[in-house]
Each structure stands twice: as structure tokens, then as C-alpha cells.
Structure 1
Amino acid sequence: MTDGTLTDIDLDTLCLFLDFDGTLVDLAPTPDGIAVPAGLPSLLTRLHARLDGRLALISGREVAVLDGFIPGYPGDIHGAHGAEWRMGGTYTAHPMAEGSVVRAAQAQAQAAAGSLPGLTIETKRTGVVIHYRAVPAAEPHARAIAQMIVADAPGMELHPSKLAYEIRPDDVGKADAVARAMAGQSPGLVPLMIGDDLTDEAAMVRAMALGGAGVRVGPGESVARWRLDDPGAVLDLLTLWADRT
């Protein structure tokens, strides 16, 4: 992949992977509080066409949730940090999805969160997230809750992210989603992962191992070759690529 600017990238060999929260949309105090730019669904559709389908979302959000935010998006989605995915129209979920271990972890999180106002519990088919974005000072409390839950959840592990702790299956991650997506691509194609969070860093490392690179959105230490300031800058870049002939 070129050592030049992002605008120099050869789109004809690019496989593009995009995070969602903090990358395509600004973060919000609660998971449901985000504002999706009006033109985002159509932009992603145009970009998907420009890349001949080599565009996928890799997000902590579930596939069904992303469908609601970006209706009509035709590309593949790897949701719940790779614990579920829809590729070529076929949906697959991790074996632990909606199982007894996941349900027990969710019940514990809901019960424990009541001890501190401001914590938000996000449940997924494959796990649970404890958000403390509305009360940053509650980080130690949120961490203690998450550690307590994961200690009693065989097959699951704890992952920190931006003002949140997520409990999910211990054999999934965004890096695996990149590998899964690239396994079906032709030789010579190059992966690029764009993300803003700690969970995206492993995906960037995997992209680098496959001959590609990463783009970090916002501040923070990163392995990424390039950096963009915020989701607005990401959308500007994607628009430039979608319109390139």
C-alpha cells in the first residue's frame, strides 16, 4: 500500500473496512443517542458500488442494529466485534449467541447497574456492554461489575473500550473479522481498516499483516499509518473516494 496520502490509495485494489461509532458517526452519551448523518446510507451505497463490493462494516454494534441506522446498505457487516456476520446475504452468529451463559451475564449486569445511576446496559445476542459515558467517574465501579460478571461466565472475556466494558465470547474480535473477509478476496487486494477505538487496533494490525494498513480516527496511541481528526473527516474522505472515476 502506498506511503503517500490517503487520497493516493488505489481504489481498484482496496478492500475497505469501517468501524461505525466514533468513525462514521459521532459518539453519544448512550448507544441509542447517536445522530446518523442524513447522507450516510447513500454515501455507503455509492462507495460500495465504486469498490465493486469490497466494503464491509466491522462494528461492536449488532448487524440488525446497523441495518436500522443505515437502511439499504448493500455490503457485508461483521457485528458484535465479529461475533456475528452477514456476508453475501447469509447471516451467521457465534454458537454462544442467546445461550444460557450470555443470558446470565446480561441479568447480572442489569441487576448490578441499578446500584449506580447513569450506567447504561446494552445487551446483544452475544454479550453485554456496561457503558459509563454519562458518568465517567463511575469507571472503577463499572470495571468491578464487569470483572465480577466475566469471572462467572465461562467462554467469555472482558474488553475495555471508550467509556465502556464489554463481555463477549473469548474467541472473537475485529481482527478475526478482517481475516474472514479477506479470505474470500482475490490475491492482490489490500485491506484498510478505519476505526477510532482500542478494539479497532487489533483489526489494523491484522490488516497490516495482510499487506494493508490502518487509519486512526481521533486521538490516542495507534499502530495506524494515517490519522483523521473525526467522523466528519472520514465522511469527507469517503465522499472523495465514492466520487472518484
Structure 2
Amino acid sequence: MSAGTMTAEQAAKALAERAEEVALCLDFDGTLSPMVDDPEAARPLHGVVELLGPLASRFAAVAIISGRPAAYLAEHLAAPGVRYLGLYGLQEIHDGEIQVDRRLEAARPTVEAAAQALRESDAVRESGAWLEDKEYAVAVHTRRVPNYEEWTDRIDRTAREIADRFGLELIPGKLVWELRPPVRGDKGDAVRRVVAESGARVVVVVGDDLGDLPAFAALTELAAEGHPVLRVAVRSEEAPAELLDAADLVVEGPEEVLEFLRRLAA
């Protein structure tokens, strides 16, 4: 069900009528949570968590798919029936236990060494950039760095050099550079897994960043296979143009995502 000229209200109504066939895949930062200077302070918009359980009870699947660790997602978005796919789907919680791709576990010492190299780099020390330990990945954040624009090129070069040195993959985002093992797995793979395991016929992805582009691409492939799909981009000052261009529907910030979820639950 490509939205085309359909409004968010019309799209939500059409989806709600087929709820038992729909897989709803949601990003976290910038989608369910407003962007904040301190990534550790990110929390879902008030009212989001209360909707997730009722949606999961009616829809084929409700999945939170994020670069965040699965435990973080489960802690801050706790609701019955919801799936939590962390690290772009390479980590998931099943029956209260975290399951991790074994290739990630093997790469932990390398990630720790790269994190130490970043910590000791001039660019990170002098800028005051914050390092986020994701256990199986490390991310450099500049959102709370004064005059962060002045540091962007230098931190980008540093992150790329260290990623190359340790054989890690660099995933850039909005004011963040994530270094992680080159283990195949992105949001597109995660979306396909949710669809296959839930038996969903209709697939919705809601996201706001470069990491959501593979999920949008997966929906294009699923549409070619006969699945009705809806790509929802969340607009902000930092939302990448290519994501907005690829979307079937654009909403304005997490507030409109919340309203969209309310309409789905109505």
C-alpha cells in the first residue's frame, strides 16, 4: 500500500483495517524519541510506550529496530509482545535473554581496542566528543560538542582511520560515527526477518536516519514480491534528503509519529 498522496490519517486507517497482517517496524532515536544532546538521556516521547502493547496484541508484529543495544530498547520501551532488535538486528532479546550473533562476540576485543584508540585520539580528546560503548560497537557522538561543525571533518577522518586500522566498518549517522565489526546485518535484514517470522503480508517501516535506508530498500524488494509496503520518514533539520525522497509518507518529528501510532491503535 504505497501511500502516494495518502495522508497519515488515511494510511493509518487502511493499516488498522488489516492489522493482523501488518508488521510495524520502528526506529528509536529521532522517531520514537526526540533527539537530545546527550544520547544516554534519550527517552521515548510520553505516550509512546502505552501504545506499543495494544498495537502488538493486534498487529502481526511490532518491532523496534535500532542501532542501540537490545537491552536498552527493552528497558525504555518495555511492552508485552514487542520485539527488540538491537545493533541493527544483530542482537535480540528472546524470553528475557539477549541473543547475539556469534561473529560479534568474537570481535569484541577488536572493538575494545578501537574504542581505546578513539579515546586517545587528539580529535576526540580535544573536541570533547562522547564515546558510546555499545559492547559490540563503539560510537563517537558530537551532538553536545560546542561548535561541532568545526570538528566534523577531523573526527570523520579519525574515525575512518581507526576503523581501517582495526578492520571495522564505519557507519555514519546524524552527528555520530559508529565503528562495528564487518558482520553482515542491517535494518533491511532485520525487517525481512520480522516479516518472515511473523508471516506478515503488509510491512511498515518508520525511521529518520541513514541507517533506515536499508530498511526502505528492503521494502522496495518486498513490494516487488507482492507485499503492500509503507515507508514513513520522520522529518527533522538533520533528516537525510535521500530518506525523505525514498519515503511514501513524511511526518514531522516524533510528535507526528506518536499521532500516527494513536491512529493505528484507535
- In the aligned structure 2, how far is the partner of 1:240 from the partner of 1:106? 43
Query: Distance in 2 between the 1:90 and 1:184 partners?
Result: 18
- Residues 118, 74 of structure 1: alpha-carbon distance in 2 compared, 3 angstrom cutoff: farther
In structure 2, the residue matched to 1:166 is: 178
CA distance in structure 2 between the partners assigned to 1:203 and 1:2 by the alignment: 15
What amino acid sits opposite 1:181 in the alignment? V
Identity of aligned residues (%): 29
Look up the SS of the partner of 1:17 in the other structure: strand
State yes or no: 1:107 paired with 2:121.
Answer: no
- Please tell me the residue identity of whatever aligns with 1:111: E
Aligned length: 240
| Conserved? CA contact 2:219–2:231, under 8 Å | yes
Q: TM-score, normalised by structure 2?
A: 0.83
Instruction: Confirm whether residue 224 of structure 1 aligns to residue 247 of structure 2.
Output: yes
Secondary structure of the residue that 2:127 maps to in structure 1?
coil
RMSD: 2.0
1:197-212 mapped onto 2 (5 Å cutoff): 197-211=209-223, 212=229
d(CA) in 2 for partners of 1:86 and 1:207?
A: 24
Q: Which residue of 2 aligns with 1:239?
A: 262
Question: CA offsets, 1:130-186, max 9 Å, x none?
Answer: 1111232211122122112111223x2111101111111221211111122222132
Q: Is the 8 A contact 2:2 2:230 kept in 1?
A: no
Residues 196-226 of structure 1, C-alpha deviation per residue, up to 9 Å, x if partnerless? 0011011111022112231100043321111
**In 2, Cα distance between equivalents of 1:114 and 1:238:** 39
Is the alpha carbon distance of 1:147 and 1:139 closer, same or farther for their aligned partners in structure 2, counting shifts above 3 Å?
A: same
Matches within 5 A, 1:185-196: 185-186=198-199, 189-196=201-208
Is the 8 Å Cα contact of residues 191 and 213 (structure 1) preserved in structure 2?
Answer: yes
Which fold has the larger relative contact order, with Cα–Cα distance below 8 Å and residues 6 or more apart in sequence? 2
Partner of 1:93: 100
Q: Which amino acid aligns with 2:119?
A: Q
More displaced, 13-22 or 215-224? 215-224
Unmatched 5+ residue regions in structure 2? 224-228
Q: Residues 45-83 of structure 1: CA distance to partner in whole angstroms, max 9, x if unpaired?
A: 12111215x110001111111122123453111101222
Q: Which amino acid aligns with 1:131?
A: H
Report the AA paired with residue 195 of structure 1: G
SS of residue paired to 2:126: coil
For 2:256 and 2:218, the matched residues in 1 are separated by: 24
User: Structure 1 residue 36: deviation in Å?
Assistant: 3.0
Equivalent residue, structure 1, for 2:54: 46
The letter of the residue matching 1:229 is E
Q: CA deviation at 1:2?
A: 4.9
Q: List runs of 5+ in structure 1 lacking aligned partners.
A: none
Deviates most, 131-140 or 13-22? 131-140
Is 1:66 aligned to residue 73 of structure 2?
A: yes
Q: Which moved more, 1:64-73 or 1:119-128?
A: 64-73
State TM-score, norm by structure 1.
0.90
Cα 1:72/1:182, change in 2 over 3 Å: closer
Corresponding residue number in structure 1 for 2:169:
157
> Comparing 124-133 with 204-213, which one deviates more in the overlay?
204-213
Question: Hey, what's the Cα distance between the residues in 1 that align with 2:174 and 2:69?
Answer: 17
Question: 34, 41, 66: which is aligned to 2:42?
Answer: 34
